[in-house]
Every structure is written in C-alpha cells, then in structure tokens.
Amino acid sequence: MVNDNAIAVLGTGIMGAAIARNLIAAGMEVRAWNRTREKAEPLADDGAKVADTPAEAAEGARFVLTMLAETDAVVEAVDGGGALSALLYDGVWLQMSTVGTEGHERLARVADERGVFYVDAPVLGTKEPAEQGQLIVLASGPDEVRERCQHVFDTLGSTTFWLGPAGAGSRLKLVTNNWIVGILGVLAETVTLAEAVGVDPARFLEVIEGGPLGLPYAQIKGQMMIEEEFPTSFSAKLARKDAGLVLDTAEKSGLQLTIAKAAAARFDEAISAGHGEEDLAAIYQATRPDNG
C-alpha cells in the first residue's frame, strides 16, 4: 500500500535510532530495520514498525533513509532484493551514512541502475545533536526533490546546506572530518602534555574557553579525557573509519596529510587497547605514557 508519509530507516544504531524517533515525533510513519533486529525493536515502543528485511521496510514508502556504518552495509541493504526494489517509482533515497567519495560513487551507480532519486546527505553531529534534532545536514542531489526532502531534513537538523549535485555532501563531510580528527588528536596530546608537566588540564580548558582559541567541542571532549570517562556519542572505531576515508581520498588527490595520518595511528592504538567502542575522545588513552 502506498503511503506518502512513510519512511524506511535502515540502520538503527546511535544515530539511526535518534533519527527514527524524531521522524516519528514529527508524524511520519517510520519502518525501522537493522541487521541485528534487537537493536531496532525498542523503536516499536515509540511507534515504529520494525521490519524483518530492508525491502519490507521500504514497501510502499516514498523515502528510504540509510544510516549505516560503511558502504558495503549500505549496498547490502538497498541493492538486489533490498530496499530500492520495494521503493516507489518516484521514491527518494536519502543516503546519510558517511561513505567517502568512492563510496558515494558506488552508491550513486546503484541508484542510477535502480532508477531512484538519490540524495547524498551526510550529517555533522553525534548522539546528543541527533536526539535533539540539531544535526547539520550536508545535502546534495537533484533539484526536483529538494522541496520533498526538506521537511525530513528540517525534522532531523537545525541547518541544511544544499550543495549542488550528489557527491558534494560527501566531499564536504570528508573535509570536515579531517578537521575533527586533527582536533581530537592534538587535544588528546595537549591534555597528556599538561599532565606530564604538572599543569592541571582543566586550567588549560579554562584559559581557552570563550576566546579565539576556544571550541565548545574541545571543552566537551577535553573534559571526558580529564575524567577518563568515555560514554559513546560517536565511537573511536567509527572515527578511525572516517579518518581512513579522508586518507584514501587525499592519497588519490596526490596529498600527504601527515597530521591526519598521525591521528589515525593514535586511533589504531586506542582501538588495539580495547577502546574502539568508547567515544572517540578515548583517543586520549593512546597518548598516555602507559598507553592506557
């Protein structure tokens, strides 16, 4: 049955679950699917219909929204007998996963083969902004579906940037992720340096707060490092994946991003030490003398 108000949300991890709940609150009919069904089932209490397959979730829907960890998982969910086979003929695929430039190109080919509208729209923000509907959406895709998509993006985010043809969103996300990876690596080493020379790292955060050197992000993540408590809003494992996408794209562009490489190596150390599922601020653990 056709439902103009239905949206299939594929991927109900930290970000996908928050997105689904906001869409439900906005009055949309949400069909939720996750590879591990148990992660999607709590959404039923919020009013979502939990589907056994991506195709079941997309049956008769106008939108499919993907928020999955990497390109292969997205392809598996939408291609073949997946969600796009059940999406309406004029349906829109909102691809909001972070997949990099090569991943975007692969997914765009899938959309073209399936004859669906494809909007490349990764987001900036982690758990709390997602829960509050305060994500920043980096949207790119066909002009003819922009108006249709806008009410969805307005539900999920505080700001939507329309950047042009599909792919522009993923490129800007890569650039922004390089900035985030660099900030986290330098912040972690700064906190460790402060501790090593007998400076209270909280004093460092106090000194930069509110001034031209200060970042609210540094306050949040720096405090987590000081307290050595890393409740996950975005995992170190996923941050390392994003750093890899940055480095792959840079290499193909003939660039050597030395700082990004160093930060990626720090994430590798943190993950090897067992911090991969903790917040990305756990990169700090790799900078400590005992490599905690």
Please say whether the beta carbons of 28 and 156 come within 8 A.
no
Rounded-to-integer distance, Cα 123 and Cα 99, Å: 11
Maximum Cα–Cα distance across the chain: 67
From 39, 49, 127, 173, the catalytic residue: 173
Strands (E), the chain: 3-10, 29-33, 49-50, 61-66, 92-95, 117-120, 123-124, 135-139, 157-162
* Sequence-separated (6 or more) residues with CB below 8 Å from residue 90: 62, 117
Q: Is-catalytic flag, 49? A: no
135 alpha carbon, distance to own chain's centre: 10
The rounded distance, in Å, linking the Cα atoms of 12 and 15 is 7
Q: Residue type for 222, please?
A: G
**Helix, strand, coil share (%) of the chain residues, nearest 5:** 55, 15, 30
- Measured CA to CA, the distance from residue 124 to residue 170 in angstroms comes to 11
Q: Under a CB-based contact definition with an 8 Å cutoff, are residues 158 and 135 in contact?
A: yes
Q: Is the dihedral of CA 104, 152, 158, 146 positive or negative?
A: positive
Catalytic residues: 173
